[in-house]
């Protein structure tokens, strides 16, 4: 009988774990749906803000809190992803995909707002667009990222807006690529120039006036 | 393999496990530790349910002859109360009281010399508790002998409740529920909860399966003849009570616990003294585990070999693992916070600080379930010790549940390292 206690305890523990897992999955799905709802809401807001900016040139003072709010959104989304990755949680889950998507929407919102602000508004942010390909073996990408890190360290006002070049069902990225004539990736967009090959870091910094 | 080398190997393996766990998803470590903890507690609860009458006192029918041996060293503060409590214990026969003064330098020896109805053995110099007890045991001719600490105050019914267990010839030692005498101090309150659960529920369950890993030093009643077979206390051992507990079982005697026999004892009154006491306990525990390693996974020692000893050691190592990982997470968190501040001042790029929370509900749920089991176990232990909840005890209960395990683990790690490095240990009296 005593020996079977270990066996019964093992079975009970497995049952407890399975029950908890089922219960938690329901909770997780609810959480994912909430994130999805927030994502849709954010996408709508992004489109609304972009449309408003295109129609009605707001003043710098009016835009400043909006940019601040969008920056915070970007930080929050990035924080979520960092936490997810730092805690070694499962990266293949829909929740992680949604978090990444949410981050993408947040940085796109910020980029579009900055793009549409009057040129005399100085928010202390110099945007650089970076489109990266969906492939793991990319030496050019590695070099570009290394250069961008160097530039960011030297020029604190530079902010890199990195987008996958072919995100599923995310039209704004395609529109941006078409707008700047980006046909291959990786690609850097500095002002109106598109760079798809490795350039000297000094040259890149000169183009950014930093 | 050399003892210290074995410890170094175990220490290295735990360090590798901590480092390696950072290359695995967190949920793997979390689920493994939770599974282990929940499994062990379920085993405990099942054993508890299997023997609901375990430790219940029986009527004292035969009253074997009995002697008490009290080892005293510089115990002026406690010995008077101890002797009063010992003399107040009820027993149908005359009980012989032997006090061994272990070379005291305070006034206790002079005070003891004047006491009636005790036999005083005067050691010329301080030689340690085990040596003093052995001196006392050498004079005992009675069937049973109770070894009592000089800062221990048993309730009057302790002998009546413990002695009947010795009717069974297989039982070599019987002990009761140790609780701190003074519970006004916060540190002592925390220890009360630890003692109530540890000496109460934990030991009672282990006793029901023949898996006790030690006998409590403050008060245990032994069969005298058993000492003739296995020898006396080991004077070179840091925790002679754990050593004798394992030796008793290695000789195929059993240890029984009766949680209804309450024995009050002095406990450390500040964290520093407590840490010193625990250093001795944990070093002794590690040392004795290796001294009696032949018991581990040895079928002839049943649950002691297959559950108590390996489980206790694994539990301690799991504590070290969790503690180590937690420390690294906190360090990472601080580093990331510093990095965040730096970049926030710098400009528009930010690396946010890590928070000690998790994204997925699954993680929360498993932690909640594991904690529920711990709390249930804790509650059961307290009810067994007849504890009645008071609002004022809430902070001590919370500390016992959530912070005290960290203190215990931290002390354990320090003790393990000291033992591994072969640092000389000193037998510390706890509260004088």
Interface residue ranges in chain B relative to chain A, Cβ cutoff 8 Å? 22, 24-28, 31, 35, 38-39, 42-43, 46-47, 50, 209, 302-303, 307, 332, 346-355, 357-366, 369
Q: For residues B432 and B77, is the Cβ–Cβ distance under 8 A?
A: yes
Yes or no, beta carbons of A13 and B39 under 8 Å apart: yes
CA distance to partner chain A, nearest, from residue B47 (Å): 7
**pLDDT tens over chain A, length 210 residues:** 556 888 999 999 999 888 888 887 777 777 667 766 766 676 666 666 666 655 555 677 777 888 888 888 888 888 877 777 766 555 556 667 777 777 888 888 888 888 777 777 778 888 888 888 876 677 888 888 888 888 888 888 888 888 888 766 667 788 788 888 888 888 888 877 888 888 888 888 888 877
pLDDT digits (tens, 9 = 90+) for B184-216: 889 999 999 999 988 888 999 999 999 999 999
Torsion angle of C-alpha atoms B242, B243, B244, B249, degrees rounded to 10? 90
CB atoms within 10 A of CB A206: 11
Query: Taken in order B202, B206, B207, B212, is the CA torsion positive or negative?
Result: negative
Distance in angstroms (rounded) separating the CA atoms of residues B235 and B239 = 9
What residues of A are in contact with residue B350 (Cβ under 8 Å)? 75, 78
Among the partner-chain residues A21, A83, A159, the one whose CB lies closest to the CB of B362 is A21
Tell me which of A71, A89, A100 to substitute to probe the interface with B (most B C-beta atoms closer than 10 Å).
A89
Yes or no, beta carbons of A89 and B27 under 8 Å apart: yes
Is A159 an 8 Å CB contact of chain B?
A: yes
Task: Return the DSSP state at A168.
Answer: T
Among the partner-chain residues B302, B346, B351, the one whose CB lies closest to the CB of A82 is B351
Task: Return the DSSP state at A57.
Answer: -
pLDDT digits (tens, 9 = 90+) for A166-180: 766 667 788 788 888
Q: What is the ipTM of this complex?
A: 0.76
Q: List the alpha helices (DSSP H) in A56-138.
A: 60-86, 94-115
Cis geometry, peptide bond prior to residue B68 (ω within 30 degrees of 0): no
Question: A6, A16, A19, A1: which is closest to B45 by C-alpha?
Answer: A6
Task: Return the DSSP state at B428.
Answer: -
Distance in angstroms (rounded) separating the CA atoms of residues B54 and B48 = 8
Q: Provide the terminal-to-terminal Cα distance of chain A, rounded to the nearest Å.
A: 78
Tell me which of B18, B45, B365 to substitute to probe the interface with A (most A C-beta atoms closer than 10 Å).
B365
Those residues of chain B that have pLDDT short of 50 are 343-359, 427-432
Question: B334, A107, A209: which is closest to B342 by C-alpha?
Answer: B334
Say whether A126 sits in a helix, a strand or coil. strand
Contacts of B394 (CB under 8 A, 6+ apart): none
pLDDT digits (tens, 9 = 90+) for B235-285: 888 899 999 999 999 999 999 999 999 999 999 999 999 999 999 999 999
Pairing of strands B219-223, B171-180: antiparallel
* Interface list for A 1-40 with B (CB within 8 A): 1-2, 5-6, 8-10, 12-13, 16-17, 20-21, 23-25, 27-28, 31
Distance in angstroms (rounded) separating the CA atoms of residues B14 and B17 = 5
By the 10 Å C-beta count (0-12 exposed, 13-18 middle, 19+ buried), A70 is classed as buried
Contacts of A166 (CB under 8 A, 6+ apart): A133, A134, A173
């Amino acid at each position: 009988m005593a020996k079977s206690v270990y066996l019964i305890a093992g079975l009970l523990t497995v049952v407890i774990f399975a029950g908890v897992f089922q219960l938690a999955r329901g909770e997780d799905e609810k959480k994912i749906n909430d994130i999805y709802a927030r994502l849709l809401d954010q996408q709508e807001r992004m489109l609304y803000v972009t449309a408003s900016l295109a129609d009605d040139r707001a003043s710098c003072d009016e835009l400043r809190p909006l940019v601040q709010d969008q920056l915070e959104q970007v930080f929050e989304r990035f924080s979520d992803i960092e936490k997810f990755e730092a805690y070694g949680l499962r990266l293949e889950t829909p929740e992680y995909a949604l978090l990444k998507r949410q981050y993408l929407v947040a940085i796109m919102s910020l980029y579009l707002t900055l793009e549409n602000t009057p040129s005399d508004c100085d928010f202390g942010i110099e945007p650089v667009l970076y489109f990266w390909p969906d492939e793991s073996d990319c030496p050019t990408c590695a070099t570009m990222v290394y250069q961008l890190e160097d530039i960011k360290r030297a020029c604190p006002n530079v902010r890199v807006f990195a987008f996958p070049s072919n995100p599923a069902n995310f039209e704004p990225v395609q529109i941006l690529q078409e707008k700047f004539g980006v046909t291959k990736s990786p690609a850097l967009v500095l002002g109106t120039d598109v760079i798809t090959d490795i350039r000297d870091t000094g040259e890149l910094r000169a183009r950014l006036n930093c | 393999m050399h003892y210290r080398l074995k410890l170094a190997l175990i220490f290295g393996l735990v360090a590798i496990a901590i480092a390696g766990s950072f290359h695995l998803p967190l949920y793997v470590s979390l689920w493994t530790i939770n599974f282990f903890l929940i499994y062990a507690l379920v085993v405990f609860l099942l054993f508890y349910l299997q023997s609901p009458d375990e430790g219940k006192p029986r009527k004292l029918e035969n009253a074997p002859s009995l002697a008490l041996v009290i080892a005293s060293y510089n115990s002026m503060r406690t010995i008077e109360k101890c002797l009063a409590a010992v003399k107040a214990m009820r027993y149908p026969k005359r009980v012989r009281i032997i006090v061994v003064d272990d070379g005291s330098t305070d006034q206790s020896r002079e005070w003891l010399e004047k006491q009636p109805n005790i036999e005083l053995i005067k050691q010329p110099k301080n030689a340690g508790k085990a040596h003093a007890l052995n001196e006392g045991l050498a004079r005992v001719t009675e069937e049973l002998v109770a070894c009592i600490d000089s800062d221990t105050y048993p309730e009057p019914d302790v002998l009546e409740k413990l002695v009947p267990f010795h009717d069974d010839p297989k039982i070599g030692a019987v002990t009761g529920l140790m609780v701190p005498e003074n519970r006004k101090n916060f540190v002592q309150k925390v220890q009360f909860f630890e003692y109530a659960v540890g000496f109460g529920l934990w030991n009672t369950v282990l006793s029901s399966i023949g898996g006790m890993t030690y006998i409590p030093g403050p008060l245990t009643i032994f069969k005298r003849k058993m000492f003739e077979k296995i020898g006396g206390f080991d004077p070179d051992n840091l925790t002679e009570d754990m050593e004798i507990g394992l030796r008793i079982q290695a000789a195929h005697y059993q240890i029984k616990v009766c949680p209804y026999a309450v024995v009050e004892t002095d406990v450390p009154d500040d964290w520093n003294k407590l840490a010193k006491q625990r250093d001795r306990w944990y070093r002794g525990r590690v040392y004795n585990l290796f001294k009696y390693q032949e018991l581990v996974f040895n079928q002839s020692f049943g649950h002691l070999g297959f559950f108590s000893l390996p489980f206790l050691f694994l539990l301690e190592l799991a504590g070290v693992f969790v503690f180590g990982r937690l420390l690294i997470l906190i360090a990472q968190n601080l580093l990331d916070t510093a990095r965040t501040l730096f970049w926030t001042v710098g400009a528009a790029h930010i690396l946010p600080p890590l928070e000690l929370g998790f994204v997925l509900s699954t993680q929360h749920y498993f932690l909640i379930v594991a904690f529920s089991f711990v709390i249930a176990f804790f509650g059961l232990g307290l009810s067994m010790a007849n504890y009645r909840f008071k609002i004022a005890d809430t902070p001590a209960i919370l500390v016992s549940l959530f912070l005290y395990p960290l203190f215990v683990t931290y002390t354990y790690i320090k003790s393990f390292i000291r033992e591994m490095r072969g640092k000389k240990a000193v037998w510390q009296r706890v509260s004088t």
